[in-house]
A and B are shown apart, each in its own frame.
Chain A
Amino acid sequence: MSRIRAATFVFGAALGLVLAGCGGGTAAPEAPAETALSDQAALGELIFRDVSLSASGRQACASCHVESNAHSPDNALPAQFGGTLLDLQGGRSAPSARYLAFNTPFFFDGEGTATGGFFWDGRAASLQGQAREPFLNPVEMANTDAADVVAKLALAPYAGEFKRVFGADIFSRPADAFDRMALALQHYQLEDVEFRPFSSKYDEFLRGKVALSAQEQRGLALFNSPAKGNCAACHPSAKGADGSHPLFTDFTYDNLGLPRNMALARNADPAFFDLGLCARPAGDLAGRPDLCGAFKVPSLRNVARRQVLFHNGAFNSLKTALTFYVQRDTNPQKWYPLKPDGSVDKFNDLPDAYKANVNTTESPYNRRLGDAPALSDAEIDDVIAFLQTLSDGFSP
């Protein structure tokens, strides 16, 4: 019996010790701490801001991805202007460069859903791959080729540092130098917490440090509700099981049937249609007509800071954009022009052959002409109030 008592005592003591350690305190994820940038990232920051690397001499990454505006454009243009004289309009709106560290290369998931990738059509597999393209795009920084960029880079004030980091002979190998330049930009975007500050009011709310207002709470409920906004179906709002804060994108693609934006110069050509996924320059998805018209689901973090929304910049305010979501099918005449026969030219930014690709099955797109919209005007205001809590830089 003494052995039994001893064993019981040991067990009891162990139980007590372990239970004493149970629970006790919480640690909601804090905003990422700032750390010193690596040499590559520090170079990337200089490159990010360097207008001398463009043909115009007046455009840098930071020109369109304005840090003070959540790395998004700070104007209401549907697409930014570039080129040698900054007079050539781009084809799509400039997305935010924030929270891209959590993105992945493009892939089809187990159910065949297009997922991941950088740019509106996911054509770049990494931030490094993405960083290369604007330098060579004729309607952006408009350099003729990689050697053209590298020649400018070699004259930059930080050229010596670039050589120290990547080799004294790096500029004699323009392809490698261009590649390293893009890599430095990737390092910068991955390392600088300004690209992923998680400092919005909603983040603070998730940390339990601030409460949402009544209107913001109503907006969150409408945002989440499958019967109302159903926004969270593509823009998840809940923390992950690992405690990670939501990115408000599921990294998939959708075809919303947006109205054609005639403010985009290339849309003056009635034969031109921006088809997104199926028309990527590499032609890798040309055989997937079902993906024509699909564009990436962007993060809604900082969406209230944007003055232009969607890939074609169709709308300039959240109020209009949300109203379009819920009234696209109930009141199509508000969003699309009329055909000569007087009928509504619905989904007019797509050729007839691809109009069937538009999402008409998920709420709130599953309404019919004359139905009540999924959200009332007041409810849209509530959702906007919630979306405004997603802007970084909140201070109580």
Chain B
Amino acid sequence: MTAQRSARPSNTHKRSIVLPRIRPTRIVAALALAAAGGAAVSQTPSEADLARKLEQLAAELAAVKAQLATLQQQRAAQAAASAPAVPAANAPAPAAETASPAAPATVWSSYGEIVYNRPTNKPENAQADLRRFVLGLQHRFDQKTKLVTELEVEHAVSSSSDPGEVEVEQAYVEHQLGNTWAARGGLFLIPIGLLNENHEPTAFYGVERNFVETAIIPTTWREGGVQMIGQFNNGIAVQTGISTGFDLTKWDATSSEGQESPLGSIHQELALAKARSLSWFGATNWRGVPGLLLGGGVFTGDATHSQATTRARVTLWDLHARWTPGRWDFSALYTRGTISNSAALNAALIGNPTLIPSAFDGQYVQAAYKVWSRQDYALSPFVRWERFNTGKSYADLGPGLTPDPLPTETVWTAGANFQLTPGVVVKADVQRFRRNKDNDRINLGLGWSF
């Protein structure tokens, strides 16, 4: 895991670890805390306190690892810069040699996934796809300030006549304000759910991201704005900020996109985003007990931008938990979205196939078990149950005009992740749909992240 990844404040694949900013003093702090932790064990018998101390130690260890990775990157960069040639006698020293050890570091990262989907009842629709290839670039201006960017290509080829897209997925500057708080501004991922901020293929089970966190939470969901990030010693991490939001004026009632993902069809991705109205978001995650993560988030804001006859507020919230005792890995999530005043917006769209829902929701529970591991190899079978409904209710438009709620879909997914090394995963799973049997499929995938 690169410094860029570890710099994210929220959940990662190893969710028991609070991943901090990088500071040299952390090495000393980690050692001090280690000693303090030992003292704490003897002084406070409470198991919870002990667990909290362990959690802090784990966090500090992660910081040390990240620091080490950064130093290695810097050292490599310096070596590359000073490598050329035999210096001419009396020539000025190369800039890299004169730079201080704290010189800005630039770090590349990448993740990607290649998938194969084969519908079991409609094998003629089988597809193979380079789902995404992402290049990340992080530049650390100084010990407190960094830039994080990610550039993504979806579906291998992007042109006017090809299905692919090129997207800037993240582009933000983060500045550390002290030991607890950091400020972030730019294009960033919204801290809702377990997956949105940590969507690399090595970070989730199954070839495909779960439906709840794609159809209801429109992963990978990003907005432009500013936020504050706070990480407290008691294991609580908070994020709050203001950002651009959704655009209901572009709802296409003639398309099925709104049924596939209500918010995915109206997100703006900071591409000439309408910004008359801004949205607010907040998220809290607690990691006070080793291996346990409890959290939730909310995002809300007007989505008509004074371009419709009525204002309409889009609100999405979630509650999530993850527990990783020993070889087990359990997670659960519930999320619900609402759109206010949808009746007024739908009035001119009646009769079309896809009206604006007033509510949509989804939930899943998932269990995985590391059944075998040797050196870096690890095999983790998993099973996931999820239910979601992208049109759970519609505001009343009168008899004969109000759409019926959409049926709730239930999906079982069973398969395994095989870790080749910590940065490479091979996946396989089977998915069964309760309603739409045409979607039953087997999936194979290869993913990487570093």
A-side residues, CB < 8 A to B, are 1, 3-4, 7-8, 11, 14-15, 18-19, 21-28, 110, 205-208, 212, 214, 217-218, 220-226, 228, 232-233, 237-239, 241-243
Contact = CB atoms under 8 A, between A and B. Distances in A.
Interface residues on B, range: 35 or more
Given A26-B304, A206-B309, A218-B400, 16 more contacts: A8-B177, A11-B183, A19-B280, A21-B278, A22-B279, A22-B302, A26-B308, A27-B307, A110-B160, A206-B348, A221-B401, A222-B351, A223-B351, A224-B352, A232-B254, A243-B308
A8 B228 contact: yes
A375 to B, nearest CB: 12
B277 A23 contact: yes
B242 A7 contact: no
Contacts of A212: 347
25 contacts: A15-B280, A19-B242, A19-B278, A22-B277, A22-B278, A22-B301, A23-B311, A24-B277, A26-B308, A27-B307, A110-B160, A205-B347, A205-B348, A207-B309, A212-B347, A223-B351, A224-B253, A225-B352, A228-B351, A232-B351, A239-B249, A241-B249, A241-B250, A242-B249, A243-B308
Nearest to A14: B226
Nearest to A209: B309
A247 to B, nearest CB: 14
A221 B302 contact: no
B421 interface: no
B250 to A, nearest CB: 4
Interface string B349-392: 11111000000000000000000000000000000000000000
A5 to B, nearest CB: 9
A243 B144 CA distance: 44
A218 B181 contact: no
A207 B226 CA distance: 34
B344 interface: yes
B178 interface: yes
B387 to A, nearest CB: 28
Interface string B218-257: 0000000010100000000000011000010110011000
List 9 tightest A-B contacts by C-beta distance, closest first: A208-B309, A224-B351, A221-B351, A241-B250, A23-B302, A225-B351, A4-B178, A221-B350, A243-B307
B127 interface: no
Contacts of B92: none
A12 to B, nearest CB: 9
Interface string B384-414: 0000000000000010110000000000000
Contacts of B349: 224, 238
A24 B400 CA distance: 33
A274 B160 CA distance: 36
B348 A238 contact: yes
Contacts of A220: 348, 350-351
A152 to B, nearest CB: 47
B158 interface: no
A217 B396 CA distance: 13
Contacts of A239: 249, 308, 348
Contacts of B228: 8, 11
B72 interface: no
Nearest to B274: A241
Contacts of A225: 351-353
Interface string B101-116: 0000000000000000
Contacts of B348: 205-206, 220, 237-239
B111 to A, nearest CB: 31
